[in-house]
């Protein structure tokens, strides 16, 4: 009988090889007459492993962000770092890292970073967690306590996230929501309606 593990790590990071392993898994699952629940869990874990391998390939193909020794940022000269900086990124598929140059306001290595070409192109800039990971975790935490959301995320994606991480993510996205609302134009007076504002405290987060 085939052993169906709750977690799965691809021993081969080649996406094409993982696809073959998926086909073998399906054939073996049929042969062993496993139940639907075990089939879904086993298949999903393998799809996560494939997603991790493809994400690694995607990040490798982004290049190192070298735009020359200097570049213009907000009409000011920015200076490339001496060597690529290691950048860590957490996605729904796991932990990843890549190396890319950053640009600073001055030549000193401790000068403020003003541009991250690769990060900006990917839409992650200074963020350690991918946009989709943030979106999914906050969906889990929307109507549940953060520790319950963390447990739910681990159950689905086989990854542990701390409550502190989810709280910080909530604050970051909350700030973005406020900036978005502030950018909206005011509706015409004749279309405005009465609004009752009531404050409350939900799971430690002011509402």
Q: How far is CA 61 from CA 8, 64, 117, 179, in A?
A: 25, 9, 14, 33
In a domain, 32, yes or no: yes
Alpha carbons within 13 A on the beta-carbon side of 153: 29
Q: Considering the entire predicted model, what is its pTM?
A: 0.77
98 belongs to a structural domain: yes
* Residue pLDDT, tens place only, 33-85: 999 999 999 999 999 999 999 999 999 999 999 999 999 999 999 999 999 99
Gap between the Cα atoms of 163 and 169, Å rounded: 10
Is 22 in the same domain as 54? yes
**pLDDT mean over 85-104:** 96
At residue 6, the pLDDT reads: 42
Evaluate whether 65 touches 100 at the Cβ level (below 8 Å): yes
More confident residue, 79 or 172: 79
Q: Are residues 112 and 138 in the same domain?
A: no
Of the three residues 42, 60, 78, the one that is the final residue of a domain is 60
Phi, psi at residue 111, to the nearest 5°?
Answer: -65, 155
Tell whether 65 is covered by a domain: no
Is the same domain home to 135 and 178?
yes
* Domain that residue 177 falls in: 131-182
| In-domain check, residue 159 | yes
């Amino acid at each position: 009988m085939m052993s169906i593990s709750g977690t799965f790590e691809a021993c081969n990071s080649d996406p094409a090889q993982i696809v073959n392993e998926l086909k073998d898994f399906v054939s073996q699952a049929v042969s062993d007459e496993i139940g639907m629940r075990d089939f879904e869990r086993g298949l999903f874990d393998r799809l996560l492993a494939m997603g991790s391998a493809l994400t690694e390939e995607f990040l490798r193909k982004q290049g190192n962000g070298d735009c020359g020794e200097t570049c213009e940022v907000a009409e000011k000269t920015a200076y490339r770092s001496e060597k690529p900086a290691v950048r860590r990124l957490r996605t729904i598929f796991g932990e990843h890292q890549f190396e890319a140059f950053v640009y600073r306001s001055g030549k000193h290595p401790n000068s403020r970073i003003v541009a991250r070409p690769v990060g900006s192109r990917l839409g992650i800039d200074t963020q350690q967690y991918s946009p989709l990971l943030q979106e999914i975790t906050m969906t889990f935490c929307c109507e549940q306590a953060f520790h319950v959301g963390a447990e739910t995320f681990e159950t689905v994606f086989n990854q542990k996230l701390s409550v502190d991480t989810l709280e910080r993510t909530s604050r970051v996205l909350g700030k973005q929501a406020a900036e978005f609302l502030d950018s909206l134009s005011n509706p015409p007076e004749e279309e405005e309606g009465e609004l009752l504002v009531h404050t409350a405290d939900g799971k430690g987060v002011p509402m």
